[in-house]
Amino acid sequence: MVVTEHAVMVASENGERAHRLHEGEQISYDPDGRLQVAEAVDMDTATAWRQGRIVFDNAPLSLVAEQIDRYIPGRIVIAQSDLADRRISGSLDLAHPDAALEAFANAIGIRITRLGPYLAILRR
**pLDDT tens sequence across 12-25:** 887 778 889 999 99
pLDDT given for residue 36 in this prediction: 87
- The list of the chain residues with pLDDT below 70 reads none
Over 37-81, what HEC string results? CCEECCHHHHCHHHHCEEEEEEEEHHHHHHHHHCCCCCEEEECCH
pLDDT given for residue 50 in this prediction: 85
Long-range contacts of 19-26 (CB under 8 A, 24+ apart): 26/1, 26/2
Angle between helices 61-69 and 97-108 (to 10 degrees): 160
CA angle (70 as vertex; 66, 102 as ends), nearest 5: 70
pLDDT given for residue 118 in this prediction: 92
pTM of the complete model beyond 0.75: no
pLDDT given for residue 79 in this prediction: 94
Specify the 3-state DSSP secondary structure of 36.
coil
Residue 96 Cα distances to 50, 102, 112, angstroms? 15, 10, 16
Q: What is the dihedral of CA 25, 49, 102, 84, to 10 degrees?
A: 30
